[in-house]
Structure 1
């Protein structure tokens, strides 16, 4: 008997690495999804089945879940991976951009969860893995709206884990630090789109953009997507998965620093990194 694994957002990065890794398991049938199936054709060659899925579209989400249920009875494992970073200052970022990010990062995740839970309950169990971020535990400047979406994922995951435990449904949260994918480039692009060449935050935006590029290139501060895929595999296959998986040593250090030292000290550390950014 195989278990059906539905993964959102597999056209690149963490989702793609996870689909490839899980497709090697003979007891897992992996459904790799993207808005356009041609973006995941190579995953089909690697052993995954492919489906069109847009987590901002109700009919698309329902159709994908129904397609898996038609073949397997239900989705046994849901990996909520789809998401992206919208960067910019709180003042300068347009709220339409913020709404689009929350539609993908939060509401899409929530709706996919709602759609798979009836089948999991009827089957007597299941797994849900939400891909959050270390950015759900601490905040950097010009990332406030992205961080807000990941803080929301933290809250939803904690509530869900308790609510579905009586139905033998296990829920884990994966919190990557900096992962060497296109995420950093996307974040830089969105920052460029919201920030003017001049203005009250011009220096801050320039420093943040430079640091984002440098940190994502650093092999000391970042890790490959395969590292996250391994954690997701553990959350899916182990009898007692962890509630949280913080990925990369740098992320673990930052999360603990923020937790132990508090807001004032963490703000002081940030000021040393972003010094001289105010006009």
Structure 2
């Protein structure tokens, strides 16, 4: 990362906006998902962010100028069955961003998290491969079909927004002099963030849990 940043700065000049965008996932039940798979998700989603900010942000702090956008997810606060590894990694990213924001405010560098809902991407193909973690399960193979339908529904119809629209919304948000700490974007983002808040703060936690379990064939 450091060598890449040095090359970019040498060719294009100082970094004004840093976007941490890489991400990946694997689905599977926590009881059976190989630890190496979970570790791989964290390597990309969490440690990838750390490598990037540690390589790029010191120079931004020295200049006392710059903005950082870390791509998060509604899954950080609203967890669904078989997506524990992904949700945990995104929750970690959100907390890293919170700490980072407070640490670099003194250097006039802003840190924002994009809390993304559904948008059209390569998620379907990635998810299809990841679904093998459930299809080969000794305990949950009977719900693989329901899970697949639920997963790919997020890429269908009007739920998933075009990536171009999501990108424009993020560019507009980051173009403001003082970007928000959390930027909601993509399909059903507000709905899922509200549901996650209600799940943990107001509603009986079993209500949302039972709804999510039923949606994934577990009830």
**Residues 174, 231 of structure 1: 8 Å contact kept:** no
After TM superposition, the structure 1 = structure 2 runs for residues 137-176 of structure 1, keeping only pairs within 5 Å, are 137-176=77-116
More strand by share: 1
Unmatched segments (≥5 aa) in structure 1 = 1-60
> What TM-score does the superposition give when structure 2 sets the normalisation length?
0.91
Q: What CA distance in whole angstroms lies between the structure 2 residues aligned with 1:197 and 1:165?
A: 47
Deviation of 1:106 (Å): 0.4
Using the TM superposition, give the Cα deviation of residue 206 of structure 1 relative to its aligned residue in structure 2, in angstroms: 2.4
1:88-167 to 2 correspondence within 5 Å?
A: 88-167=28-107
Alignment match, 1:17: none
CA distance in 1, matches of 2:116, 2:167: 10
| Structure 2 match to 1:20 | none
Contact 1:73 1:119 in 2 (8 A): no
Are the structure 2 counterparts of residues 198 and 187 from structure 1 closer, same or farther at C-alpha, using a change threshold of 3 Å? closer
SS at match of 2:184: strand
1:250 aligns with 2:159: no
Asked whether 1:237 is paired with 2:188, we answer no
Name the CA distance, whole Å, in 2 between partners of 1:254 and 1:82: 22
Deviations 1:29-80 (A, max 9, x none): xxxxxxxxxxxxxxxxxxxxxxxxxxxxxxxx12210112213453221100
Q: Unaligned regions of 5+ residues in structure 2, if any? A: none
Tell me, yes or no, if the aligned pair for 1:142 and 1:205 is still in contact at 8 Å. no
Matching of residue 270 in structure 1 with residue 217 in structure 2: no
The equivalent position to 2:140 in structure 1, one of 171, 183, 201, is 201
1:271 Cα deviation from its structure 2 partner: 3.2
Structure with the greater relative contact order (CA < 8 A, sep ≥ 6): 1 or 2?
Answer: 2
CA contact (8 A) 2:61 2:107 kept: yes
How many angstroms does 1:102 deviate by? Answer: 0.8
Query: Offset at 1:131?
Result: 0.4
Select the residue among 193, 210, 214 that pairs with 2:153.
Answer: 214
Give the secondary structure class of the aligned counterpart of 1:223: coil
Aligned pair count? Answer: 215
> Which residue in the other structure is 1:191 paired with?
131
TM-score, structure 1 length as denominator? 0.72
User: Aligned-pair distance for 1:243?
Assistant: 1.0
Aligned residues of 1:174 and 1:247 also touching (Cα < 8 A): yes
Distance 1:137 1:217 in 2: 23
> Please, what is the CA RMSD of the aligned residues?
1.7
Q: Determine the C-alpha separation between the residues in 2 that align with 1:207 and 1:229.
A: 31
